[in-house]
Amino acid sequence: MLVLACAIPAVLAAILLIAYNFQREKAHALEQAHELAQSAVNAVDRDFASTQSALYALGTSDLLEKGDLAGFQQRASRVLQNLKAHDIVLTAPSGQQLVNTRVPFGSPLPVVGQPVRVKGLFDADRPVVTDLFYGKALKTHLFGIAVPVSDGTRVTHALAAGVMPETVAAMLRQQNLPRDWIAAVFDSSGTIVARSHQMDEFVGKKASPGLRERLQAETHGTLDTVTLEGVKVYTAFVRSPSSGWAVALGIPRRSLTNQLWLAVVVAIAVVGVLLATGFATAWHIGSRISGSIFELAKPAFALGYGAKVTVPPLYFHEANVLGETLSTASALLHDASAAVARHDARLTAIMDSAMDAIITVDDDQRVILYNRAAAAVFGWPPEEAVGRPLSQFIPARFRDAHVRHVEAFGQRNRARRGMGESGELLGLNRDGQEFPIEASISKINEDGKNFYTVVLRDITERVKARQALERSNADLRQFAYVASHDLKSPLRSIGGIAQILEHSYHGALDAKGIGLLRRLSAAAARLEQLTDDLLQLADLEGEVPAFAPVDCRDAVQEALQLMEQPIRDAGATVTVGDLPVVMGVHGELTHLFLNLIANAVKYHGQQAPEVRITAERAGAEWVISVADNGIGIDPKHHERIFEVFNRLHKVGDYGGTGIGLAICRTIAARQGGRIWVESQEGKGSTFKVALRGAAVPA
Do the strands 192-195 and 548-551 form a parallel or antiparallel pair, or are they unpaired? unpaired
Stretch of residues binding ligand ADP (CB under 6 A), selected from 8-16, 126-134, 199-207, 629-637? 629-637
Closest CA to 615 of 543, 555, 569: 555
What crossing angle do the helices spanning 552-562 and 586-602 adopt, rounded to 10°?
50
Q: Which stretch binds ligand ADP (CB under 6 A): 345-353, 454-462, 495-503, 655-663?
A: 655-663
Q: Does 631 bind ligand ADP (CB under 6 A)?
A: yes
Nearest Cα to Cα of residue 460 among 429, 432, 430, 438: 438
Q: Which residues contact 455 (CB under 8 A, 6 or more apart)?
A: 354, 356, 357, 358, 439, 440, 441, 442
State the minimum distance, in angstroms, from the CB of residue 659 to ligand ADP.
6
Residue 130 and residue 85 in contact, taking contact as beta carbons nearer than 8 Å: no
- Please say which residue, 193 or 661, places its beta carbon nearer to ligand ADP: 661
Residue 661 binds to ligand ADP (criterion: CB under 6 A):
yes
Neighbours of 274 (CB within 10 A): 15
Which residue number, 360 or 657, has a Cβ lying nearer to ligand ADP? 657
Task: Output 231 or 570, the one with its CB closest to ligand ADP.
Answer: 570
Does residue 630 belong to the site contacting ligand ADP (CB under 6 A)?
yes
Specify the residue, 59 or 656, whose C-beta has the smaller distance to ligand ADP: 656
Residue 626 bridge partners (DSSP): 613, 687
| 633 lies in the binding site for ligand ADP (CB under 6 A) | yes
List Cα–Cα distances, 685 to 571, 639, 659, in angstroms: 18, 14, 18
Helices (H) and strands (E) in the chain, counts: 18, 24
Work out how close the CB of 640 gets to ligand ADP at its nearest, in angstroms, rounded to a whole number: 9
CB 556, min distance to ligand ADP, A: 16
3-state helix vs strand vs coil in the chain, percent to 5:
50, 20, 30
Taking CB under 6 A as the binding criterion, the range among 99-107, 154-162, 379-387, 640-648 that sits at the site for ligand ADP is 640-648
Q: Which is nearer to ligand ADP, 99 or 627 (CB)?
A: 627
- Binding span for ligand ADP by CB under 6 A among 150-158, 410-418, 576-584, 644-652: 644-652
SS3 (DSSP) at 14? helix
Angstrom CA distances, 414 to 304, 437, 672, stand at 38, 22, 26
Q: Which is nearer to ligand ADP, 238 or 530 (CB)?
A: 530
Q: Between residue 20 and residue 49, which ones bind ligand ADP under the rule CB under 6 A?
A: none
Instruction: Identify which range of 143-151, 274-282, 320-328, 652-660 contacts ligand ADP by CB under 6 A.
Output: 652-660
Span near ligand ADP by CB under 6 A; candidates 181-189, 315-323, 481-489, 641-649? 641-649
**Total residues contacting ligand ADP (rule CB under 6 A)?**
18
Q: Taking CB under 6 A as the rule, does residue 386 contact ligand ADP?
A: no
Instruction: Rule CB under 6 A: say whether 660 interacts with ligand ADP.
Output: yes
Report the C-alpha dihedral over residues 550, 555, 556, 559, rounded to 10 degrees.
Answer: -160
Q: What is the 3-state secondary structure (H, E, C) of 89-136?
A: EEECCCCEEEEECCCCCCCCCCECCCCCCCCCHHHHCCCEECCCEEEC
* Residue number closest to ligand ADP, CB atom: 656
Residues 597-616 that bind ligand ADP (CB under 6 A): 599-600, 603
CB of residue 608 to ligand ADP, shortest distance in Å: 14
Q: Around 628, how many Cα atoms within 13 Å sit in the side-chain half-sphere?
A: 26
- Distance of closest approach, residue 374 Cβ to ligand ADP, in angstroms: 49
Options 196-204, 317-325, 584-592, 659-667: segment touching ligand ADP (CB under 6 A): 659-667
Regarding 540 and contact with ligand ADP (CB under 6 A), the answer is no
Instruction: Rule CB under 6 A: say whether 641 interacts with ligand ADP.
Output: yes
Torsions phi, psi of 559, nearest 5?
-65, -40
Chain residues that interact with ligand ADP, rule: CB under 6 A: 599-600, 603, 628, 630-631, 633, 641, 647-649, 656-661, 685
